[in-house]
A and B are shown apart, each in its own frame.
Chain A
Amino acid sequence: MVPPATFTSYYGRPIVKAAPWQSDIPAYLFLGGLAAGSSLLAAGADLMNLPELRRVARIGALFGAAAGSAALIHDLGRPARFLNMMRTAKPTSPMSVGTWILTTFGPLAGMAGAAEVAALLPFRIPIAGRLLDAAARPAGLLAAALAPGLASYTGVLLADTATPAWHAAHRELPLVFVGSAAAAAGGLGMVGARLSETTPARRMAVGGAVLAFTMELQMERSMGLSAETLHSGKAGRLFNASRGLSIAGAVGTVALGGRNRIAAAMSGAALLAGSVCTRFAIFEAGQASARDPRYTVIPQRERVTRS
């Protein structure tokens, strides 16, 4: 339907408030997704005996979880009070649920990743090194079991707000985000592992990119008026970049990913960059939709008129 040309507001001032979050949060959305996807890839590589893919993926999961956690803590108004997150567990708060998932996932993925890092050292760490080796597989598998939650809850985190563009996308955001996570993790595997081991990474990358792309199309329909915010300003530029990079990466993967090491690495890098842009685009679209009262007033006014 054609939205009304005019609407009423209080001198054009916003009604809802934009989240006070800086780039830490969209960066975390990416890093958490990368960690989750990588831990799944690592678990599969471990079980299928693909050591190089396993190493890249485990280190990717370690890095994603560590850097992501740092970004989350940095974004707090009072970082020193981070541990207050642990004084309760609330299913009505996606942030509480996510914090518990991440604090369980982090050490497990960290252990598996540390085992890989230790193996790269020119010397062996006595005792602790052997313990780490023994713990790597169970820890990695447990981390992979938590990965679906880690990759999908962030969609709920954004959607469970009064931010018009995020809430209107609540039926698709978790699916877009798991697709983006898989594309990023597959992309990392393609960048870091030899061709003979990257078949699963390539499949995961392309599958993830296709899932994200199709769910984004559906998401734009669900968003109604607020879908505008994905196509203008900063969010619009990021969204276009995410589309371009993801399509290029996926096409490159299918065409050359299994034959040419350089082309595989470039396709993987494009998919990683595409995933970054997806997260930042959706983040910025939400912020823009909160700052302009039209996205709050018009859909609500239509709802009132209908009932």
Chain B
Amino acid sequence: MHGWSTAADPARDTGWSEAPARKGFFTDGSVCIGCKACEVACKEWNGIPEDGLQMLGMSYDNTGGLGASTWRHVAFIEQPRRPVGAGSLTPLPLVAATHGQEAGGDPGSGFKPDYSASAGASSGPQDTAAGSAETGIRWLMSSDVCKHCTHAACLDVCPTGALMRTEFGTVVVQDDVCNGCGYCIPACPFGVIDRREGPAGARNVGIAQKCTLCYDRLRDGMSPACAQACPTQSIQYGDLDELRARANHRVEELHAAGVADARLYGADPDDGIGGAGAFFLLLDEPEVYGLPPDPVVTTRDLPAMWRTAAIAGATLLAGAAAAFVKARS
């Protein structure tokens, strides 16, 4: 699709000779109940500090998004229920999360629910998503996490080698190596990784932090804390191949039940990141959940960028030389 070679086995490609099967997450948004047990379990297991207790005023989500001290984040979308029979892929009357030209950075500024748009819509096949027919609202919930990309931009651009590929095919920051240059942060196409802020000297302040897919637990043969805590099995952990098969089956099941919106995100090894190690089942377009619709690893264009830099450097050198031709006055 992007003409980008796919690496089926990132661990082995990185030089792990004895690598177990690639591990990952399948997060099934169709059964998420928004309880945030994953967020809590992640914080507890990984000893992540509190990073704000403010009310965001936009939905039941007061976490906001992934960051240095939020490695699981449950997105919570309240949207008008679409009329039954509406084409599944036509744009939703998404008043709640749709912004005009001038929409800026103020979270929640565009949140003006227009319940009348869908008033009277009766319960339809989308009933698997939480919500009530009386209010005309449907709730979408999904737990976001680092995608553990096959082609991980964060890892590519890291100048110290602090970001590394584990034997499980996951992407992990080595806390003792990272010097906090911050390059991985704008490199990630999903806005996952961030530098921890806080008082100097506090744990891992000043260095890049993100989900490790519980590297420590994996090495002991345990499943990650979030998957362990999830009460509905919305977060499933296992061998990536098996998870993909299971997810394909789940989508077929949902389509057969009339949930035409169900689609996988990040499960395609031919996508712009070579497929995610942590992928999702969504019930609406990715951007509704705060995910980029077509993420591409930035380093895919790096050879072209180096070529441009070479041309630029040669231009500078030639220009400088030309500036000295018959320069003595």
Interface residues of A (CB under 8 A from B): 5-21, 36-37, 40-41, 44, 47-50, 75-79, 81-82, 84-85, 87-88, 90-96, 99, 144, 147-149, 151-153, 155-156, 159-163, 166-167, 170-175, 177-178, 181-182, 186, 196, 199-201, 203-204, 207-208, 211, 286, 290-294, 296-297, 300-301, 303-304, 307
Contact = CB atoms under 8 A, between A and B. Distances in A.
A76 B324 CA distance: 39
Interface residues of B, number: 93
Which of B65, B186, B195, B329 is the most central at the interface, judged by chain A CB atoms within 10 Å of its CB? B186
Nearest to A89: B159
Contact of B308 (A41, A44, A95, A174): A174
A41 B320 contact: yes
Interface in B308-328: 308-317, 319-324, 327-328
25 contacts: A8-B91, A9-B288, A10-B287, A44-B320, A47-B324, A81-B178, A84-B177, A88-B159, A92-B157, A92-B302, A152-B310, A161-B183, A161-B186, A162-B188, A162-B191, A170-B301, A172-B308, A174-B305, A175-B308, A177-B312, A200-B323, A201-B323, A203-B323, A211-B315, A292-B105
Interface in B181-215: 181-183, 185-196, 205-208
Contacts of A171: 304, 308
Nearest to A228: B101
Interface in B127-180: 153, 156-162, 177-180
Contacts, number: 307
A13 B290 CA distance: 7
A77 B327 contact: no
A300 B295 contact: yes
Nearest to A98: B159
B33 interface: no
B99 A9 contact: yes
Contacts of A201: 323
Contacts of A85: 159-160, 179, 181
A11 B319 contact: no
Nearest to B58: A11
B314 A159 contact: no
Interface in B88-103: 91-92, 94, 96-101, 103
Given A10-B287, A156-B309, A178-B315, A20 B298 contact: no
A307 B105 CA distance: 29
B124 interface: no
Interface stretch (B24-32, B107-115, B252-260): B107-115
B179 A76 contact: yes
B65 to A, nearest CB: 6
Given A177-B312, A294-B99, A12 B110 contact: yes
B305 A160 contact: yes
Contact of B179 (A9, A84, A300): A84
B191 A16 contact: yes
Contact of B327 (A19, A199, A300): A199
A300 B293 contact: yes
B316 A170 contact: no
A94 B157 contact: yes
A16 B186 contact: yes
A256 B313 CA distance: 29
B227 interface: no
Given A12-B107, A17-B186, A17-B188, A95 B157 contact: yes
